[in-house]
Structure 1
Amino acid sequence: MLKTLFLTLLVLTIAVGGGAASVWVMLEEAGPVGAVSAGPWTAFPSAGTREADPYSRARFARRGGVPLGPSEGITFTAGRDSNGRGLRRECAYRIAGAMPASRFWTFYAAGPEGALLPPFKRRRAALHSQMVLRQSDNSFSIAVSRHPMPSNWLAVTGEGPMQLVLTLFDTPVASGARVDELSLPRITRTACDG
């Protein structure tokens, strides 16, 4: 009787512990399913659709995010520059090029977990399409730095890794265009402190 009770508890402990561990690995350690890359930028076009896998849905729910539907837009993230080096807050970057067709877009710097970086002297680490100065060919250049820069400047604070997040709203890209064939802005490291 005691042996049966012990074996039952052992099996339940292994089953519950193993199940919890596998869920943790899938949510925290495993790479997201359905990623599409365009240069250093990565998007998950199926995240807000019925085709999204259950783990992607759980990741968004756990972080408190709501993925955009296919007719709403698409979000791209970059944790590396165009040369493959990790993005760091103590470095300065130049984001340059043309933006794919969209009604509106936002661009911000985030920590590795995706949270918006703290403001720099009342200046948020975020820009949008209606506040960016453009060239005559509709291209633009944005400086991402801890130090003030002329023209379009995205202020970042602190030290350590970061990611850049670009969201295109009301764009043909979100509803079926080939994301991996897009020409998104290049991310070039221009300097580093220290």
Structure 2
Amino acid sequence: MLKNALLTLLSLAIAIGGGGGSVWYALKTQDGVGAIRIGQWTAFPDIGTPAADPYSKARVAREGVLALGRAEGLSFIAERDSGGEQLLRQCTYTIEGGFPTARFWTLYAADQSLGVVQTGRARLAALQSYQVLRQPDNSVIISVGSRPAPGNWLLTEGAGRMYFVLTFYDTPIASSTGLSDVTLPRILRVGCNA
């Protein structure tokens, strides 16, 4: 009798622990159900629509973010650089390339909760399309790090993981047909502080 009770409890513990762990992993990973990937950038185009999958709805509920509808825009998240390495706050990066057509876009460095990285200074770790300097071919080069750089500079400080969140507002790429020929900027690691 005691043996059956212990086996039942063990089975329940494995089922609840395994189920909870798999749900946590599915909600935490950026390569989930309904995700599209362009280079190192990942987006969930259906996240703010009624057609969103249950995992996307759970991700929005857990993180407490305001999901954009298909007509409003699309957010891309990068957790790795072009070399496949995790993005770290103690490293410096260059984000370079063209940006798709949009009325407005924002780029910010995010922490684990996808909130803006706190820098301890009045300057936020964020840029937007109206304030960047562009190259003659309309591309953008952005330096990311703790030391000021000429041109476009995105401040990050501290240590640990970070993400880049690139959001396009009022853009044709938010429709399913607009994603096929989109290219997004590359994230190149320049160096890291020891």
TM-score by length of 1: 0.86
- Against the structure 1 CA distance between its residues 122 and 19, is the aligned structure 2 distance closer, same or farther, given a 3 Å change threshold? same
Contact 1:95–1:188 (Cα < 8 Å) also in 2: yes
Quick one: structure 1 residues 183 and 104, their matched pair in 2 at CA, closer, same or farther if it must change by over 3 Å? Answer: same
Alpha-carbon separation, structure 2, partners of 1:75 and 1:161:
19
- Is residue 25 of structure 1 aligned with residue 19 of structure 2? no
Look up the SS of the partner of 2:68 in the other structure. coil
RMSD of aligned C-alpha atoms? 2.2
How many Å apart are 1:107 and its aligned residue?
Answer: 0.2
| Number of residue pairs the alignment of both structures matches | 187
Could you tell me whether the CA contact under 8 Å between 1:107 and 1:128 is conserved in 2? yes
Q: Distance in 2 between matches of 1:181 and 1:25?
A: 33
- Contact in 1 for aligned 2:172/2:178 (Cα 8 Å): no
Gaps of at least 5 residues in structure 2 are none
C-alpha deviation, 1:17, in angstroms: 8.7
Q: Per the alignment, in what secondary structure is the counterpart of residue 138 of structure 2?
A: coil
Identity of aligned residues (%): 45
The answer to whether the 8 A contact 2:95-2:187 is kept is yes
Q: What TM-score comes out, normalization by structure 2 length? A: 0.86
Q: Distance in 1 between matches of 2:13 and 2:83?
A: 44
| 1:71 pairs with 2:67 | no
Pairwise CA distance, 1:121: 1.9
With 39-48 and 173-182 compared, the bigger mean Cα shift is at 173-182
Please state whether the residue corresponding to 1:117 is helix, strand or coil: coil
How far apart, CA to CA, are the structure 1 residues paired with 2:181 and 2:120?
Answer: 35
Pairing 1:112–2:112 present: yes
Q: Distance in 1 between matches of 2:141 and 2:171?
A: 21
Partner of 2:133: 133
Alpha-carbon deviation of 1:193?
A: 1.2
Per-residue Cα deviation, 1:13-61 (whole angstroms, up to 9, x for no partner): 97799468625531x2124211111101011111111221122111111
Distance 1:89 1:49 in 2: 33
**1:44 maps to which residue?**
44
Cα displacement (A) at 1:105: 0.3
Separation in 2 of the partners of 1:70 and 1:81? 27
The structure having more radius of gyration, on CA atoms, is 1
- Counterpart secondary structure, 2:158: coil
107-116 or 156-165, which moves further after superposition? 107-116
- Structure 1: tracts of 5 or more residues without a match: none
- Counterpart residue type for residue 67 of structure 2: P
> What SS does the corresponding residue of 2:59 show, helix, strand or coil?
helix
1:168 paired with 2:172, answer no
